[in-house]
Amino acid sequence: MRKIERQMLNAIAVNSNWKCANTEVCYDPETNESTVYLHGNKIAEVGDNYLRLFDGGWQSNTTKSRINAIMQECSIAGEGVFQKNYQWFIRLFNGTEFFVTEFRSGMKLGALPYSLLLA
């Protein structure tokens, strides 16, 4: 994981605003939600019990890397975004098994693991 992604994840975990180079985390205390931006484009919303993912209009390697870093911390191990034949897909766990579906910007993933809520 890149240093900037570790810093981004730390800002999300401690509910703080943070910006470095092309990545920014904005925390809203009213909603207790962190919004992550890459080059000014929203790529994620991290709430108390959900994660909403966006491609920001750019399905780039950097966008995918930032999203996967967030999912590594906020999702079940093994979940993530990948690309095949220039198309994005997401691997998710449905409670009993992993499945793959097309990535859709704005997709909302359910409850986060209890361990993240303690961070």
Tens digits of per-residue pLDDT, 22-44? 999 999 999 999 999 999 999 99
Task: Report how far residue 117's alpha carbon sits from residue 64's, in angstroms, rounded to the nearest whole number.
Answer: 24
Mean pLDDT of 50-64: 94
How many percent of the chain have pLDDT more than 70? 92
Residue where the block lists tokens 């859709």 = 104
- Confirm if 24 and 87 have CB atoms less than 8 A apart: no
Q: Reply yes or no on whether the pLDDT at 115 is more than 60.
A: no
pLDDT at 1: 82
Quick one: 30 exposed, middle or buried, by C-beta within 10 A (0-12, 13-18, 19+)? exposed
Quote the CA–CA distance of 103 and 113 in Å, as a whole number: 21
**Structure confidence at residue 49 as a pLDDT band (50, 70, 90):** confident
Gap between the Cα atoms of 74 and 117, Å rounded? 9
The verdict on pTM exceeding 0.85 is yes
Contact (CB, 8 A) for 105 and 53: yes
Residue written as token pair 């180079």 = 21
| Higher pLDDT, residue 108 or 75 | 108
Asked whether residue 21 carries a pLDDT value surpassing 70, the answer given is yes
